[in-house]
Each structure stands twice: as C-alpha cells, then as structure tokens.
Amino acid sequence: MVTDLVNETLKSLGKTVKNVICEHFEYSRQELYGIIKIKKLTSFNEVLDTCGTGHGCETCKPLVSSIFASLYNFTPNKEDVTQDTNDKFLANIQRNGTYSVVPRIAGGEITPEGLIVLGQIGSKYNLYTKITGGARIDFFGAELNDLPAIWKELIDAGFESGHAYGKSLRTVKSCVGSTWCRYGLDESISFAIELENRYKGLRSPHKLKGGVSGCIRECAEARGKDFGVIAVEGGWNLYVGGNGGATPRHAELLAEKIDNETVLKYLDRYLMYYIQTAAPLMRTAAWLDKLEGGIEQLKKIVIDDSLNIASELEKEMQFLIDAYECEWKQAIENENTKKRFNHFVNSDDRDDNLVFVPMRDQKMPEHWKN
C-alpha cells in the first residue's frame, strides 16, 4: 500500500518509476523468473553473473532462492547462505532467540497416537504448546541446538515439516464435512488432506493458505483463504484470492459446481500462474486486485486457456509435486547440514542467556526490560 502510494505520487510528479528487485538486478521478479527458467540457472552466483551486478543483498538473495524453489523445488538446504533466518534454520525465530516447531497435520486430522507423540516431545523438551488457527499444533521455545533432535523424533513418528517458516503452503483447513456433520454435502476432510498433501512444500511469492468447507455454512472459512473450496449441490465451488490479516478480503468465485478433478486442474493453473507473475511478498488477494481484468481475466486464463499455457502450467505443477522432499528429513540425514544448528560456530555450547518465566501451566520468555 505504501509502495503503491509513493509510486503513484512519483508518477504524478513526472518521475520514472522502475519496477526492479534491488540495485543488483534491473528486473522485476516476473522478468527474473523468466530469465532463470529459460537459461536453466541453478545457483545464485550463476544468476548474478548472468544478469546481475555486485554481490547481492538481503532482498535479492532470498528472492532468487524462492524462484529456484518454485521452478525446481530446491529446498533451503541447497544454498543456505542465500536464505533468510527462518528458512536457513527451517523454523520461525521468536522474540527471545528460540524457535517454533510446527509439524504438518494435513487437514487438521490426527490420530490419538499422533497426539500422544506430540505430547511426549513437548514434555521432553519443555516446549510451550498451542493449537494454532490453522488447526495444527505449534511448539514454542525450542533452542537451536535441539531442533535436529526434535525433528528426528517427529519424523521417526511419521510427521514432516509444516513449512510454517516459509513463503509456501501452510495449511488447508477443513470442517468435518459429510464424514460426521449432518449438514455436510461432501467429504471436506478427505479433500482438504488431498489438497494439502498435493501442494505441501510449494514455494511462492508469499505464504499460501487453503480451506475446504462441507457446506455453505463455511465452518472452515474457505473464502478467507488464498484458495477455498465449498461443497454445494452438484459439486464444489472454487474461490480464489482471499485472505485475512491486516486487509481482509473475501475470495472470489472462480468456478462453480465442479468435480474434484476439475478443482485440482484449475488450482494447478491458478497457483502456478500466480507464482510466475506476482511481485515479491505479494499475497494472492493483492495480486488479483492488480491483475488487469481481475477475476474475469483470471477465468479466461485458468478455465478458457486464453493464453494457451494451461498444459504448461499443469506440467510445471506436477513436476513440483513429484519433486517434493521433506526439508527437515533432508537436514537430519546430512551431517554437514546439522552443523548449521549449533548456537556458536566454534562450540557445541548452548545459549545460557535464555530466561523463561511461568505462564499458567507452561512457560514464556521473560518480558523485555524497558
């Protein structure tokens, strides 16, 4: 919003406004994405040597890494020096320097045995534990040194990364649908799990969230997500471009009364087109607002294939799905990668400056001192 205001003001004053990534790349994200794709570049130095200048910065390095992930499904483990802190350590850093741990719980469905495992891990490492708005379980207060051990136990128990730290798919939230609810028109849980497992690990310009509701009562809040599916008589209604946050926006109807296979086809096209054309850190809602022609133009591209790129978008999405690997599984199986999780470069010592205080039956970081 601020950027748009400044740019429009500069234009009104007769100034030239250039849509570039940073001082090292005289291209927009969409242009750089195309260059990397066509030239098949696979490292930051290759990109810099081919079409950039200087040594790169905190803006362009993570952006190029994100493009690699969107093109080739490279995980942050491949070039950790170009990642921001959260991606480098595969966890969200918290205000006291500890990290959160969020295993994937697709569709919010978990067995009693899975809950027991999570409880045991939370107790063993003395982690603050909370159920999130995305219907999964979040651990807080994990020390950097403990992250590989925590994740090894999680992965051994059948869990995998929830990508809560990445600009990627977070969750696909669901209600219980026709599986249990007397109002449900279709199996929203099963479809949400299918969608989350299909797009897990998918990297994009910003985070992605989905939802599947079993009827128009909308208990999964699907229209407040980047993509949402709602069961109706005759199939599913597919909505796109919604979000909550600072500027809430209802998703718009892309297609109605379509079957599961068509939902997947349209979502593949929509998500890949967004990934290829959006600006850095732009959610689908803002992207759709800025798309010339809006939802009607998107319908032409996704449904009518007006640009004749639908088969290519589907093929690229299928490549990413097939190339998926759990990046935490990669990390714990590689001794060099595990060294990244030492608090000190030259020592195995832990951070002895961490201070926690009691909060109800758990703990929290000590309050900041004025």
Residue intervals of the chain classified under CATH 3.90.480.10 are 85-165
The pTM score is: 0.94
Domain range 85-165, CATH class: alpha beta
pLDDT greater than 90 at residue 1:
no
- Give the length of the chain: 370
Q: What is the pLDDT of residues 222-248, one digit of tens each?
A: 999 999 999 999 999 999 999 998 889
pLDDT greater than 80 at residue 50:
yes
Q: Which distant-in-sequence residues (6+ apart) come within 8 Å of 206 by Cβ?
A: 167, 278, 281, 282, 283, 284
Report how far residue 327's alpha carbon sits from residue 329's, in angstroms, rounded to the nearest whole number.
5
Q: Are 50 and 56 in contact (CB under 8 A)?
A: no
Interior CA angle at 151 toward 147 and 152, to 5°?
Answer: 115
Mean pLDDT of the chain: 94
Closest CA to 143 of 356, 370, 350: 350
Report how far residue 236's alpha carbon sits from residue 190's, in angstroms, rounded to the nearest whole number.
14
Q: What is the pLDDT of residues 297-337, one digit of tens each?
A: 999 999 999 999 999 999 999 999 999 999 999 999 999 99
Residue intervals of the chain classified under CATH 3.30.413.10 are 167-322
Q: Is the dihedral of CA 294, 63, 242, 271 positive or negative?
A: positive
pLDDT greater than 90 at residue 23:
yes
What type of residue is 41? L
Report how far residue 76's alpha carbon sits from residue 65's, in angstroms, rounded to the nearest whole number.
8
Task: Look at residue 5 in the predicted model and tell me its pLDDT.
Answer: 76
The fold of the 167-322 domain, in CATH, is: Sulfite Reductase Hemoprotein; domain 1 (3.30.413)
Which DSSP string do the residues of 156-171 spell out, in sequence order? HTT--B--TTSSBEEE
pLDDT greater than 90 at residue 2:
no
Closest CA to 104 of 144, 134, 70, 59: 134
Helix axes 29-39, 60-72, angle to 10 degrees: 50
pLDDT greater than 80 at residue 4:
no
